[in-house]
Amino acid sequence: MISSPDWVRLSFGADMVLGFSPGKFLKGALNTTINLLEYYPDGCKANCIYCGQAREVAKGPECKTLIRVEWPLRKLDDVLNRIKEREGNPEYGLQRICVGQLAHPRASPDAIEITKRIREKGIELQISELVTATYTFKQHMIEMRKAGADMIDVAIDAASKRVFDQVRGKPVRSMHRWERYIQAIDEAVEVFGKKNAGIHLIVGLGETEKEAVELIWYAHSRGAKISLFAFYPEVGTPMQNKKPVPLNVYRRIQLARWLIENDLVKLEDFTFDEEGKIVDINIPQDLSLKELAPAFMTSGCPGCNRPYSNERPGSVLKNYPWYPDEKQTLSAIKASKIPSLIKRFVN
């Protein structure tokens, strides 16, 4: 049967890097993580309304899009052979493999098996597990670690219980529960250790900026790192007509994430307006422009740069897959529309 663990989907970037699909990203944007996604003929069991894999959108396994691009189906063994051939070759720059789950009863045992097979092949790249907490419990996390995984991210995606329920909970005929995801963050940190566990947060699903900052603060206070994603509507989903997250909002949340994760601010350093929008951040006086630059880079596990996973090639990069230069950093600060930062760095 064509199904995980013997078969997996590959992100389009990973498919190109491994030479299954022709093409290359722009220079400087090597796809340094190989993102694998599980595959099941009966598809994903959940119904998150922003996702192309959702039960009522995909109607089975045929729909192959996720974050707007096709995820080609490949034999795991072929994928691992190609990774083994390319590992250590600077031309490809591979750093990490990410084992991504669907919401499916087999999700965790198969992720563990895929991780074992990566190590049995003798591949030494770092391995991350991207888990759905509904089907991944602490014991699975322990098994993932034993099998050879180094890091784990809990794909909570939404910034608050309010938004979580609206886009992935009961009201949209989906079975995910906010409380289980919050519990899984602590389990992930316990099993993998501080900073080796994290969350995925999608900005633009309907949260206020205050809610996003509070979740980032909470995750950081529990020892978890934060991987930020910018919402971009997926055709065919109930959210297909919702606008992508505005650049100014994303830039403010990127700044908040970076400042919080680097312990440079406290929650009291953020000023919000009555709608929960960030209007000011009290940043340390000695922070230089160069030091702020990485705030606008892709965040998450080291080596996971996800080029063009948040926008179409040609538009402004929301997550820079490289260290932004001075011009890019200035333009990102300007885009944040935070007057005090613009006055200090741009004018």
183, two tokens: 């519990």
- Strand-pair partners of 280: 271
Beta strands in the chain (DSSP E): 7-10, 33-38, 65-66, 69-70, 73-75, 96-100, 126-131, 151-157, 197-203, 225-230, 270-272, 278-281
Residue 304 CB neighbour total at 10 angstroms: 25
Select 116 or 200, whichever has its Cβ closest to ligand SF4.
Answer: 200
> With CB under 6 A as the contact rule, which of the stretches 187-195, 232-240, 264-272, 296-304 interacts with ligand SF4?
296-304
**Minimum distance from residue 238 beta carbon to ligand SF4 (Å):** 24
Which one of 43, 169, 204, 300 is in contact with ligand SF4 (CB under 6 A)?
300
Tokens of 190: 């316990």
Nearer to ligand SF4, 208 or 310 (CB): 310
96 touches ligand SF4 by CB under 6 A: yes
| Cβ at position 300, least distance to ligand SF4 in Å | 3
Tokens 């784990």 belong to which residue? 152
Which residue's CB comes closest to ligand SF4? Answer: 300
Encoded one letter per residue, x for contact with ligand SF4 by CB under 6 A and - for no contact, window 185-204 reads ---------------x----
**Amino acid at residue number 60:** G
For 225, the 3-state DSSP assignment is strand
- Rounded CA gap, 156 and 256, in Å? 18
Instruction: Find, among 108, 119, 139, the residue nearest to 4 by Cα.
Output: 108
Residue closest to 93 by CA, chosen among 155, 174, 13: 13
Binding string, residues 47-86; x marks residues near ligand SF4 by CB under 6 A: ----------------------------------------
Per-residue contact string for residues 230-269; x = within reach of ligand SF4 by CB under 6 A? ----------------------------------------
Which of residues 86 and 200 has its CB atom nearest to ligand SF4 in the complex? 200
| 3-class secondary structure, 320 | strand
Tokens of 264: 């440079």
CA–CA separation, 284 and 287 (whole Å)? 6
Q: Which of 4, 32, 33, 160 binds ligand SF4 (CB under 6 A)?
A: 33
CA-CA distance, 336 to 249, in Å (whole number)? 7
For the CB of residue 224, give the shortest distance to ligand SF4 in the complex, in Å.
Answer: 12
**Which one of 32, 128, 132, 329 is in contact with ligand SF4 (CB under 6 A)?**
128
Burial label for 226, CB within 10 Å (0-12, 13-18, 19+), is buried
Asked if 160 interacts with ligand SF4 (CB under 6 A), we say no
Q: Which stretch binds ligand SF4 (CB under 6 A): 19-27, 71-79, 234-242, 298-306?
A: 298-306
d(CA 329, CA 347) in angstroms, rounded, equals: 14
Asked if 118 is part of the footprint of ligand SF4 (rule: CB under 6 A), the reply reads no
- CB nearer ligand SF4, residue 31 or residue 35: 35
In the complex, least distance from residue 151 CB atom to ligand SF4, rounded to whole angstroms: 6
**130 part of the interface to ligand SF4, by CB under 6 A:** yes
Contact footprint for ligand SF4 (CB under 6 A): 33, 35, 96, 98, 128, 130, 153, 200, 227, 300-301, 304
